[in-house]
Amino acid sequence: METPEAILKIKNIEVKYHEVILVLKGVSIEVPKAGIVALLGANGAGKSTTLKAVSGLLKVEDGEVTDGGIEFEGQMIHHEHAAKIAKMGIVQVIEGRKVFEHLTVEENLKVGAHLRKTGSVKDKLELVYHYFPRLRQKRNETAGFVSGGEQQMTVVGRALMTEPKLVLLDEPSMGLAPMLIHEIFNIVTELNQEEKISILLVEQNAKLALNVAPYAYVMETGRIVMDDTAEKLSQNEDIKDFYLGLTDKGGRKSFREVKHYKRRKRWLG
Ligand code: ATP
């Protein structure tokens, strides 16, 4: 996708862990300013690694961008430290709802507040409670004891406290009931539309992702194998068959077709 007003440009990056394990093999992704882009793919494809390359968290795991580059608002950031990248306005919501379990919900939110550039902590809390009314109700409860959905809201809320320009959102739907997933995705859409926050969303659930993101990339074993508008991807036969569980063909496919599909299906899990 070529767009001049991209806030983030991942340009043909190669990523290695421990100097030898090659995980990303030339990945290019663009996120438009105030846009939502989804990154789809099966377990182990390299989606989280891509997000960590952007946020700088890769370095914590002895990973490194060994080729290509990452540009955020015109500045190359792939050699910067995570703290500097966070200050520039990029926040990663890591997979698996990592709350500080012994702190209250509100204390968890306040942890994100030191990175904000404007307004008081109180203003920022109000903003989070505006988007997540459930968190206002639960604000004095210990985060380790609220529901999974509320923990997920807490980590997204904590990210919002940092006044981000770009949120890297890793599998927000994981392990949550459909109603809650729906609620969280609605809020994510509102944050994008009303606060103009750009979002790079990693999801295994293609149906969800293609509902909120107008554009998506599909990753397989460290490479982007497809990228298109959500509309076109939703019509793609492979996506329909293996991701969305829909098919207009009905009948059995020929062996050759199945073999071909199987080869292409690896990223579909
Ligand atoms: P998932 O949905 O399971 O998180 P993913 O698409 O996000 O999958 P990654 O977590 O980025 O995939 O992993 C991509 C590959 O990199 C996997 O083969 C994984 O084993 C490897 N990998 C991830 N982290 C490390 C690490 N710290 N050291 C070595 N290899 C790693």
User: Domains of the chain: which residue ranges?
Assistant: 6-89+165-235, 100-162
% of the chain residues with pLDDT over 70: 87
pLDDT value of position 4? 55
pLDDT value of position 113? 82
Burial of 2 (0-12, 13-18, 19+ CB in 10 A): exposed
State whether the beta carbon of 17 lies less than 6 angstroms from ligand 1: yes
* Mean pLDDT of the chain, nearest integer: 87
pLDDT value of position 190? 93
pLDDT value of position 141? 97
Q: How close is the Cα of 157 to the center of ligand 1, in Å?
A: 26
pLDDT value of position 247? 46
State whether the beta carbon of 144 lies less than 6 angstroms from ligand 1: no
Closest residue by Cα to atom 16, ligand 1, is 23
Question: How large is the C-alpha radius of gyration of the chain?
Answer: 19
Closest residue by Cα to atom 2, ligand 1, is 43
State whether the beta carbon of 48 lies less than 6 angstroms from ligand 1: yes
The predicted model gives 214-225 an average pLDDT of 93
Name the band, by pLDDT with cuts 50, 70 and 90, for residue 85. very high
What are the tokens at 50? 């891509």
pLDDT surpasses 70 at 265: no
Burial of 265 (0-12, 13-18, 19+ CB in 10 A): middle
pLDDT surpasses 70 at 1: no
pLDDT surpasses 60 at 73: yes
The predicted model gives 147-173 an average pLDDT of 93
* Ligand 1 atom nearest 49 alpha carbon: 11
pLDDT value of position 245? 55
Q: Does domain 6-89+165-235 have CATH number 3.30.210.10?
A: no
Could you tell which of 48, 57, 64, 92 is best to mutate to test the pocket of ligand 1, judged by most ligand atoms within 8 Å of the CB? 48
pLDDT surpasses 50 at 258: no
| 91-119 per-position pLDDT tens digit | 999 877 789 999 999 999 998 787 777 77
The residue with tokens 């992704």 is: 29
| 227-257 per-position pLDDT tens digit | 999 999 988 887 776 566 554 444 434 334 4
Q: How close is the Cα of 117 to the center of ligand 1, in Å?
A: 33
